[in-house]
Amino acid sequence: MNVELRHLRALAAIGDEGTITGAAAVLHVSQPALSRTLEQLESRVGVRLVDRTTRTLSLTDAGQQLYERAHLILRQLDDALTEAAAGVRPLRIGFAWAALGDLTVPLLRTWREAHPGTPVQVYRRDDPEAALRRGEIDAALLRTSPAPGAGLEVRPLYRERRMAAVPDGDPLVTRPSVRLADLADRSVVLCATAATTAELWPEGRRPHTFEVANVDEWLTVIATGEAVGVTAEATEQSHPHPGVRYLPLADVPPVTVRMAWPRTPTHPATLTFLGHLRSVTPAQP
């Protein structure tokens, strides 16, 4: 197909910026030149990659797939050049909400002691699965199941309790634990990475729910009394908030914490890190 790196860089920038104007500025090229590069790529691939009108731009399904692969290819090239010049790069671990709660610092400290030549860098990503597909991180700690066909290897690590998050001063804070029924008449704020869905409640008793984009918005909505939340136990450790109290949920199953990585690992220490994770996380029955 004679696709060149400049074609992939063009599509990656267009997908990142959402406009031809923004992508052209990032790449330091003119808008007409970038449009021609995109047209060349679509011609060589043989499918439309971007739907454009005078007001909007969006990637097609094929464009979204190639956009993620383009990021992965470009990231792998950058990594290869970096490693050629400076040796093995750090292992990049991503998470969406809470890494491993109070286990995070011991995990990283013991890894540094055991593997001083392979540093670990930790990144928070709103969508760690997409970050894996784009090659931004080498592995992710997840509390939700990856989408089918995501091309990822996944291993369970351990389980942790679910917690209710309520405003400080709420009548529920006097209880040692709460049940889903105690929250059913409230508004419940959801976040895609918080391991919470309306399906936790039985049909016919599901509360009013609404979504926010990230943990900071989630905490603010709860602290101001607009809603309550449900999350995993590590959130209490990773995201303490003066206006939010965390209470154990007594009648829901625990959350499974998993590690996921591409089927072809992007870092040679990926499986070694998995073994280290298993050595510091709680043994499961």
Cα–Cα distance for residue pair 49/68, rounded to 1 Å = 12
Segment 213-232, tens digit of pLDDT: 888 899 999 999 999 999 99
Cα–Cα distance for residue pair 23/10, rounded to 1 Å = 7
> Which amino acid makes up residue 234?
A
Statement to judge: residues 131 and 269 lie in one domain:
yes
Strand partners, 56: none
Checking if the pLDDT of 194 tops 70, the result is no
Range of the domain at 232: 162-253
Statement to judge: residues 249 and 173 lie in one domain:
yes
Statement to judge: residues 232 and 263 lie in one domain:
no
Statement to judge: residues 131 and 264 lie in one domain:
yes
65 is written with which tokens? 């797939």
Segment 250-261, tens digit of pLDDT: 999 999 999 999
> Which amino acid makes up residue 45?
V
Statement to judge: residues 210 and 263 lie in one domain:
no
CB neighbourhood size of 230 (10 A): 26
Task: Find out whether 177 and 81 touch, Cβ atoms under 8 Å.
Answer: no
Segment 89-147, tens digit of pLDDT: 899 999 988 888 889 999 999 999 999 999 999 999 888 888 998 889 999 999 888 87
Confidence tier at 285 by pLDDT (50, 70, 90):
low
User: What is the 8-class DSSP label of residue 189?
Assistant: E
Total domains present in the chain: 3
The CATH number for 212's domain is 3.40.190.10
Packed helices 20-27 and 31-45: angle between N→C axes, nearest 10 degrees: 100
Statement to judge: residues 226 and 272 lie in one domain:
no
Please report whether residue 123 resides in a domain.
yes
Segment 39-95, tens digit of pLDDT: 999 999 999 999 987 778 999 999 998 998 898 888 888 888 887 877 778 999 999
pLDDT at 82: 80
pLDDT at 83: 77
Statement to judge: residues 144 and 263 lie in one domain:
yes
Statement to judge: residues 16 and 56 lie in one domain:
yes
Statement to judge: residues 20 and 134 lie in one domain:
no
The CATH number for 23's domain is 1.10.10.10
pLDDT at 193: 64
Please report whether residue 285 resides in a domain.
no
Cα–Cα distance for residue pair 224/152, rounded to 1 Å = 38
pTM of the predicted model, to two decimals? 0.77
Residue 174 neighbours by CB under 8 Å, 6+ apart: none
Cα–Cα distances in angstroms (integers) from residue 83 to residues 80, 90, 131, 195, in the given order: 5, 10, 21, 36
Residue 7 neighbours by CB under 8 Å, 6+ apart: 37, 40, 41, 44
